[in-house]
Amino acid sequence: MNVSTILIILLIGAFATYFSGDKLASKVALLFSLAALGCSIVLLNNFSAGENISVINSWITQPKISFALNADGLGLAMVLLTAALTPIIIFSSFGNEYKNAKGFYALILFMAFAMTGTFLAADGLLYYIFWELALIPIYFIALIWGNGDAEERRKAVVKFFIYTLAGSLFMLTAFIYLYQKAGSFLIEDLYKVELSACEQFWIFLAFFLAYAIKIPIIPFHTWQANVYQKAPTVGTMLLSGIMLKMGLYSVIRWQLPLAPIAAKEYMYIFIGLGIAGVIYGSIVALRQKDLKKLLAYSSLAHVGLIAAGSYTLTLDGLRGAVLQMIAHGFVVVGLFFAAEVIYRRFETREIGEMGGIRTQSPKFTSMFLILVLASVALPSTFNFVGEFTVLYSLSQINILFAILGGTTIILGAYYMLRMFQHVMLGETNSKTFADVSLNEGISFAVIIAVLLFFGFYPKPITDLITPSLETILQVINKN
């Protein structure tokens, strides 16, 4: 078995879901997503046993393009994140009804297919194709099944589409330039290209524009909050839990090794942008009255810290960034799902219209509190491991970076606990809040179990990703 198997499962699953009809679509999608998760676990076991599960086949002769999928520890970690979150996201949607459900769930699987391909691709043009394919499903998911006024939703989604597409064109230009130097799009050939400091600057900038929009890093974040708010919760989970990780992963896999001189020269600027996102996202989150918007800006703050850790060019920084990517994926999906559970009962996302849930649903209150504490990196949760490692790496570069980056913990604790107080405590809302259903409880339990298990024992993930990160650092330090 090789890594192409998981792509085949997800692609066949997307078509099978569409042709299964609206009544069966959700169950078929869940079945194929679980099959993909099982496949990813088998691939991990094979990889750990020393089996070569990568794929490389000639695809197009002129220009020279290969169907190359590289399965190292870093790529497998991101594939496992995608494979684990996809069935959770699908299962969490069972409490909602969707028109044209077959199209909705088919798009989810197709998006998982494209994102998985992005994490595995070892050919620049193949990577670009998967990168762009992932944009199409979320565009339609947000546009057709989104919330609020149709015209406002259309404007938000089109802005996101144009922003992302425009940034990707800069990346494509960089790949074409590199191809002319290397005669190949294979990542191992691109790593060997020798570029001047000036050439590296432009290559670095071209990749940065694509990734800064996707992550997002300020000042390229303006699409995020509106799209997160207007998209259906499933779409928001896909965007925040997995899709933005494509940009963070790509910084480590593509941008830094291809332009290491520029990465070293402008390190302080890009660390500064990441930390600016931490402070800005936290301050703006304090002022939000809409629960989904608050969580969107909270996510902006967290990914800003991850980006800052990536640009430190240290093993601790890269390792902490990857650990935090995975932890953030689970906790943000859990938080947005909690917001959806509240919306199902109260039919509002306005924090001021909530309250009193604790007295009506102690189980939900307890699970929501664990997710909130995980979000603010309470020790013994997975987020603490990643954030501590990133902050430690920042202190190695400049202690001021660590102090400023640490504001994400202080400010995050303030606005998240204040939000919890207004939403869960206080006077009882006039509407009845039914306790969590079995489906909802299972979704929360799985997410919380992952956050607590790896909070106490992150070694399996650390051991998986470290060799790949050391290899990438060797490429960076050759220049």
20 or 408, which is more confident? 20
**Cα(428)–Cα(355) distance, integer angstroms:** 6
Q: What is the pLDDT of residue 151?
A: 85
Q: What is the pLDDT of residue 225?
A: 85
**Cα(263)–Cα(93) distance, integer angstroms:** 41
Give the mean model confidence (pLDDT) for residues 450-470.
96
Paired tokens of 265: 């020269």
- pTM assigned to the model: 0.95
Interior/surface letters 374-413, b for 16+ CB within 10 angstroms, e for the rest: bbbbbeebbbbbbbbbbbbbbbebeeebbebbbbbbebbb
Q: What is the pLDDT of residue 153?
A: 86
Percent of the chain with pLDDT over 70: 99
Q: Is 51 left (phi over 0), alpha (psi -120 to 50) or beta?
A: beta
220-263 pLDDT per residue, tens: 888 888 899 888 999 999 999 999 999 999 999 999 999 999 99
Q: If pLDDT is split at 50, 70 and 90, which confidence band does 382 have? A: very high
Cα 474 from chain centre: 26
Paired tokens of 478: 């050759």
Domain ranges of the chain: 266-479
What is the SS3 assignment for 68?
strand
Q: Nearest CA to 335 among 379, 383, 287, 281? A: 383
Peptide bond into 137 cis (omega under 30): no
Angle between the 73-92 and 315-346 helix axes, to the nearest 10 degrees?
0
What is the SS3 assignment for 51?
coil
Give the mean model confidence (pLDDT) for residues 151-180.
91
Q: What is the pLDDT of residue 430?
A: 63
Give the mean model confidence (pLDDT) for residues 266-273.
94
Does the pLDDT at position 133 exceed 70?
yes
Q: What is the pLDDT of residue 109?
A: 97
Does the pLDDT at position 425 exceed 90?
no
**Cα(114)–Cα(110) distance, integer angstroms:** 6
Q: Which DSSP letter does residue 390 get?
A: H
Give the mean model confidence (pLDDT) for residues 374-401.
94
Paired tokens of 110: 């197709």
Q: What is the pLDDT of residue 479?
A: 64
Q: What is the pLDDT of residue 428?
A: 67
Mean residue pLDDT across the chain: 92
Give the mean model confidence (pLDDT) for residues 182-193.
93
Does the pLDDT at position 429 exceed 80?
no
Q: If pLDDT is split at 50, 70 and 90, which confidence band does 150 have? A: confident
Q: Nearest CA to 53 among 110, 126, 122, 112? A: 122
Q: Which DSSP letter does residue 353 get?
A: G
**Cα(39)–Cα(6) distance, integer angstroms:** 6
